[in-house]
Amino acid sequence: MAAGPTPQVICLGEALVDRLGPLGGDPFTAGPEQSDDRLGGAPANVACALARLGTPSAFVGRLGSDAIGAAFQQLMRERGVDLSGLQRDPIHPSRVVLVRRDASGDRSFGGFSGDQGDGFADQALQASGVQASLPPLLAGARWLQIGTIPLASALSAEALVAAVQLAVDAGVAIALDVNWRPTFWDVSAPADAGPTPAAVAAIRPLLEQAGLIKLAAEEAQWLFGSRDPVVIRAGLPQHPAVVVTDGGAQVAWCFGSSSGVMPAYPVAVVDSTGAGDAFLAGLLHQLCLQPQLLDGGSAEAVRFASACGALVCSGAGAIDPQPTHEQAEAFLAKRV
């Protein structure tokens, strides 16, 4: 079988199922006919979105030896995502996340399903496997895209830290989506709880190594006491590019000498799951096509990324509605 194109972005972390409850209902009590299971997980979403946009990507993570794991392998292979860094777990199941959706389609995470009492496959990501599979991928990559969820479990945290060090040593830039999800750290935590001091201490080294940081507005406030990307950039030693999103309200950014704010594109929201991941994929896609945008002219990249996020909100699930490059451009052409 011929090798695929060299991945430009490597996405490392969780792949899981989002079990979407009925609009305004409870996924814990809803029957199968009322729930909608969708493949997801932020890094998996980004990898799939990049591949659909036309930027070669790879996914590095760990899935159970179960139907969910098999479904992910089939989906990613169909999308053309490189899976040479995928680990399969013979003991731990793939994770199912219960997602509440309000009447407008906005979502919150309410817990997990499928655990047999010994955790999930994504929590058992092995550092040794990452250290073996990642270097060949890094040889041709521009970005390693990560989130903070692997830090919530000891084994996956070790694997994430090892991956970041390998990328830094190889001169590959880190793209960090903070993606704070308190339920992954403490299943009893309220869905709107901020990071604990211990979580902040674990996240801080990633913030100080990333070349691109994406945060939701509340994450920016928790971690930096400011929602201004100019302030956040100035407060980090490496002065990264910073993007702060605020749901359907606006996005603010600071890339080098370029900064600005733009409103989100209004769309009829079916399900907002994965919108931020599509946004990040759109941004990385543009930065791979035009690396100079990282130092200036970032409004162009942010507009394209916002279109990708808006289009994902128009369909159910995080992956199925992801647009092609041409679809995102057509969306923007109608909004000039």
Does some domain include residue 169?
Answer: yes
What pairing do the DSSP bridges indicate for beta strands 241-245 and 212-216? parallel
d(CA 250, CA 247): 7
Task: Tell me the C-alpha to C-alpha distance, in Å, between residue 29 and each of 70, 95, 100, 148.
Answer: 27, 18, 11, 29
d(CA 132, CA 28): 39
Range of the structural domain that residue 125 is part of: 9-333
> Is the pLDDT score of 289 beyond 80?
yes
Q: Global pTM?
A: 0.93
Name 144's bridge partners.
10, 174
Q: What is the dihedral of CA 134, 137, 142, 144, to 10 degrees?
A: -30
> Is the pLDDT score of 24 beyond 90?
no
d(CA 332, CA 336): 7
Give every CB contact of residue 78 below 8 A, 6+ residues apart in sequence: none
Give mean pLDDT, residues 167-171: 98
End-to-end distance of the chain based on CA atoms, in angstroms? 44
Task: Tell me the C-alpha to C-alpha distance, in Å, between residue 150 and each of 24, 51, 52, 156.
Answer: 30, 23, 25, 5
What pairing do the DSSP bridges indicate for beta strands 36-40 and 173-177? unpaired
Does some domain include residue 3?
Answer: no
Note the pLDDT of residue 22: 67
Q: Kind and range of the H or E element at 52?
A: helix 42-53
pLDDT digits (tens, 9 = 90+) for 73-84: 999 999 999 999
Does some domain include residue 286?
Answer: yes
Q: Residue 294: which CATH number?
A: 3.40.1190.20
pLDDT digits (tens, 9 = 90+) for 86-97: 999 999 999 998
pLDDT digits (tens, 9 = 90+) for 107-143: 566 688 878 778 999 999 999 999 999 999 999 999 9
Task: Tell me the C-alpha to C-alpha distance, in Å, between residue 300 and each of 215, 280, 283, 303.
Answer: 19, 14, 9, 5
Note the pLDDT of residue 2: 45
Does some domain include residue 231?
Answer: yes
Does some domain include residue 4?
Answer: no
Give the mean pLDDT of the chain.
Answer: 91
Does some domain include residue 30?
Answer: yes
pLDDT digits (tens, 9 = 90+) for 34-84: 678 889 999 999 999 999 999 999 999 999 999 999 999 999 999 999 999
Does some domain include residue 2?
Answer: no
Does some domain include residue 155?
Answer: yes
Q: Where are the alpha helices (DSSP H) in 211-274?
A: 217-224, 229-234
Cα dihedral 285, 288, 289, 293 sign: positive
What total number of domains does the chain contain? 1
CA 190 centroid distance within chain: 21
What band does 1 get if pLDDT is binned at 50, 70 and 90?
very low
